[in-house]
Structure 1
């Protein structure tokens, strides 16, 4: 099929500010410039990313209440028939809704985009449902090489491809966030408050930095789920007198504005796919110290365009951060080189070309 004649729908459960959600929007927006029809359907919950959807994208919110919400399912079916959708690109857990849709619309093809964040712990991943549904997929996209191999070996799926995430510029955003701390001495972390993001490594490093470089501050931007993990983080901050050193901001949309106010960017995760945070750090020329998980090592080359440290290595992470703090020239060099890496390898144009070429083989 000619690329311009393609009619593709992105399917996602929510539009909260997460990596999978951002990529669903990014794909829908990017495709709207190149194909005949680009749609985005959100099944369960809208969120702040709704403001990032381009005018050229057809948008539908299903307000799906349960796994077998037949009203939502038939609304989706009618939408697909109305717009003559030929391919449904299901992100993360929306694969099950895509499978139900496939039973009603047998002519459509479905592909699954696996954004699984715990790629360091794939041996613990539930398999049964995916094994039953996988034969209905025409293709699987993995956000890192480990997930691609996992699909091939555990789902016995041949047509799996690794495609990296790609960043995009924000739109329709009011730049309202003002960071605490001193200009030129702020360290930012873009990570929702989830266990896999290991904020406690960050906090232990913050304790050390308070002693050696007390004027430097940490700024944690990401969704606060108000759960036990969140409470433990806040308790640690208070218990270690870090209230003037570590600041929490919750979900924010003005990422560029936040990064512009920051000097160094970090990510302390125990597990990742290919985090959007790393791509955004590079897009905005921020020098970074990150952990070596998921596909991060394909982006950050240690000592060349950033520092990459084994997960859970508190002392090594601290030492790398101090090295960067002490060297303004290195900060600039790392930021520029990471920007070059992202531009050359993780741009919308490059990823989308590989995506469309792959779709033509399905």
Structure 2
């Protein structure tokens, strides 16, 4: 079985991490399932893959419909006798559909990692309902429900949760002592967030939450640490807001850091303020490291966090409720080990990369069996 994975993104994030984990699991458990990745030349995913033993190829993609990437897909499929194309972002899906119109490509599957609905326009509906696209792997039930609104054949949709590699998480080396590096006093609790600076992560609400907690509630015993790739002009706006609120002594931006999950054990609380999500990897990683999670309940997050059972939830944009939840944990510390243990067992039993790989393989086999 020869699988080609397509990625056409610039950044490194949870979705790219899942591609890497999936291919690693296949390499370890089913070496006869050969996986190779086509990624964007010179970007963060390319640089990351260079440090692995996974098979990958690159293509130039200077603009969204760059013919060089399209030709590369066709060439690889013919040369490597690809049986199935696994597509991991919407741009790559568009490129694969164009390539199929130029050459008869193998069947395709698509991983839908966000809870954005399919746009009600001709081009979008065409590519997501394309006959070569046999399955859409939805990262959560919420993603599946939202996606179904634009899909003619709902049998295409499969809920397939992502996961983490427990052994990999155990062996991560932080390489940085946050308290020493950022000069955070020992009496301050660290509230950590890992997210690239994109609109869906709504980091403006994170800054507002910090302002509510530190300035309005006068809780100077907290420090916010935000890790993730900067994006102009959004990052500049966030930095400006931190300065306007006078939060410079209580808020740090570290930018992109490879293996950022290695820093999670240094957090006292993990926080997610997203306005839209599929299901963030950061939650699974926090669960594994037994760090309590406070989050907005968007996308599939409420499928794995039950309010006051294994975490605390708020509505999107509700910085006051997020602040209230932080204070609940701070003033009821007995909740922390309870939340942490329930979440830790949940991730080990249901959300590992090996489980994800096994379920993915079942779907691959169904598609290829139909093809025979």
Aligned to 2:135: 139
Aligned to 2:185: 182
Aligned to 1:24: 19
* Among 326, 335, 345, the residue aligned to 1:330: 335
Report which stretch shifted further, 75-84 or 265-274. Answer: 75-84
Measured in 1, the distance between the counterparts of 2:25 and 2:339 equals 28
Aligned to 2:108: 110
Superposed, 1:77-156 pairs within 5 Å as 77-93=74-90, 94-117=92-115, 119=116, 122=117, 125=119, 127-133=121-127, 134-135=129-130, 136-156=132-152
Aligned to 1:302: 307
Measured in 1, the distance between the counterparts of 2:338 and 2:27 equals 35
Counterpart contact for 1:10–1:90, Cα < 8 Å = yes
Structure 2: 5+ residue stretches without partners = 368-372
User: SS at the partner of 1:328?
Assistant: coil
1:83: Cα distance to partner?
2.0
Measured in 1, the distance between the counterparts of 2:16 and 2:229 equals 13
Q: Quote the RMSD (CA, aligned, Å).
A: 2.4
User: SS at the partner of 1:20?
Assistant: helix
Aligned to 1:3: none
Number of matched pairs: 352
Measured in 1, the distance between the counterparts of 2:50 and 2:20 equals 6
Aligned to 1:209: 213
Counterpart contact for 1:173–1:253, Cα < 8 Å = no
Measured in 2, the distance between the counterparts of 1:95 and 1:27 equals 19
1:10: Cα distance to partner?
1.1
Summarize the Cα distance change of 1:269–1:58 in structure 2 as closer, same or farther, 3 Å threshold. Answer: same
1:89: Cα distance to partner?
0.3
User: How high is the TM-score relative to the length of structure 1?
Assistant: 0.89
Superimposed CA distance per residue, residues 205-254 of structure 1 (whole angstroms, 9 cap, x where no aligned partner) = 21232143202100111111121x32221111111110001111111113
1:43 correspondence with 2:40: yes
Measured in 2, the distance between the counterparts of 1:153 and 1:29 equals 33
1:105: Cα distance to partner?
4.3
Measured in 1, the distance between the counterparts of 2:330 and 2:287 equals 18
1:71: Cα distance to partner?
3.4
User: SS at the partner of 1:9?
Assistant: strand
User: How high is the TM-score relative to the length of structure 2?
Assistant: 0.86
Counterpart contact for 2:14–2:281, Cα < 8 Å = yes
Summarize the Cα distance change of 1:182–1:128 in structure 2 as closer, same or farther, 3 Å threshold. Answer: farther
1:177: Cα distance to partner?
6.2
